[in-house]
Amino acid sequence: MNIVGENFPKEIVEQINLRQTKLGSSHRDNELLSWMNSKTGWVRLVSSVDVNKDINPRKVLDGLRGNGESALAEQYVLFGGVTKYIPNTTEGATIKQRSGITRNGSVHNMGAYGLGGLDYGLSPMPGIVSANIKTENRGSLRTSIISIKAYNRKQFDIIDLLYLRLGYTVLLEWGHSMFYTNSGEFQKDVDGKATLESLFLTGKDKTGTPINYNSLLPLINTRRKQFFGNYDAVLGKVVNFSWTINKDLSYDITLTVRSIGDVIESLKMNTSLGGTIGINITSNNTTQSSTTPKTDREAIEAFRKKTTMAKYFYSLIDEQDNKYDIDFESPPTPPNNQVSTPKTK
């Protein structure tokens, strides 16, 4: 957010001020008490992987029903355990939570217990245990370390196919379950309103236009402001993973995801290496002698046509000059455009 020293967005600043006001309020109604005592965080991890049944060696897709090659990713979204994304319903795409117990031994089912089969007994469904997101490189990159728990071999095979490969693209979302808007309106169920899960899984927006990295990243930033900092997301790639099997035959999985961000340190631009900087200034088809900028302002003005960054800095200076257009060296102009002239003897 502050890669080049920019201010925080006004939506975030206003949200911080509102939270301080709410926490310091002496009048606490039911909504405020719910926000203060029942507010929780949520986290969702979505895979972009399409799996072809014909080349799957472990046969974990047997009996799977869904939308073609993306069926596995749609039915195993890691959120509150494991949720199922159902596209193209009469009411639009829906997200269904698993619940209850399934005892028929099927691998793919909607039970909170029995998912993955009964080889290990009634195993609970897998899910995210924790997610730690930290900022790298002055805010240009984010690294997320996600801990996942699986309770039988089939569950691990599914997570392995969807998430445990270097270079896999995933969408990690998180936020608050309830919040106040900057205008003071109480909001709940943020996870269902803010999520980009549908766009990410289908690869298309509501108009059917395909989306890519360049179109998805601005949407994340828009939602971040729209929900006043109570929603955030990382679109990233898997850069590392590890897993261990425990004595109870459950699996502890650690996934490292790095965002696809703006690596500003890698941008190439003309830089000063010290000493004399020769600048040829051409005016009226005449090349003047080289000059040496003595101040930062002179250097920016001299290089304003040589690099994009210098052009941007020059536009900021020009904007400030126009905003504060004051010439302290010139004498003030008399009112009504009356210019006094010296009297002649």
- Cα separation, 342 vs 345, whole angstroms: 10
Does one domain contain both 160 and 305?
Answer: no
Q: What is the pLDDT of residues 247-306, one digit of tens each?
A: 999 999 999 999 876 545 445 555 544 444 444 444 444 444 455 666 777 777 777 777
Does one domain contain both 177 and 33?
Answer: yes
- Cα separation, 88 vs 90, whole angstroms: 7
Does one domain contain both 256 and 114?
Answer: yes
Does one domain contain both 107 and 180?
Answer: yes
With H, G, I as helix, E, B as strand and everything else as coil, classify residue 253: strand
Residue 154 lies in a domain: yes
Report the number of secondary-structure helices (H) and strands (E) in the chain: 9, 12
User: Into how many domains does the chain fold?
Assistant: 2
Does one domain contain both 175 and 303?
Answer: no
Residue 52 lies in a domain: yes
Q: What is the pLDDT of residues 140-160, one digit of tens each?
A: 788 999 999 999 999 999 999
- Cα separation, 279 vs 288, whole angstroms: 9
121: left (phi over 0), alpha (psi -120 to 50) or beta: left
Token pair 């039988």 in the structure block, residue: 152
| Token digits of residue 15 | 């949200």
Q: What is the pLDDT of residues 20-65, one digit of tens each?
A: 999 998 888 999 999 999 888 999 999 988 876 565 555 666 656 5
Residue 132 lies in a domain: yes
Residue 319 lies in a domain: yes
**Angle formed by the axes of helices 10-23 and 30-38, to 10°?**
110
**Mean pLDDT of all residues in 159-164:** 92
Q: Which domain holds residue 307?
A: 282-323
Residue 291 lies in a domain: yes
Q: Enter the pTM of the model.
A: 0.72
Residue 274 lies in a domain: no
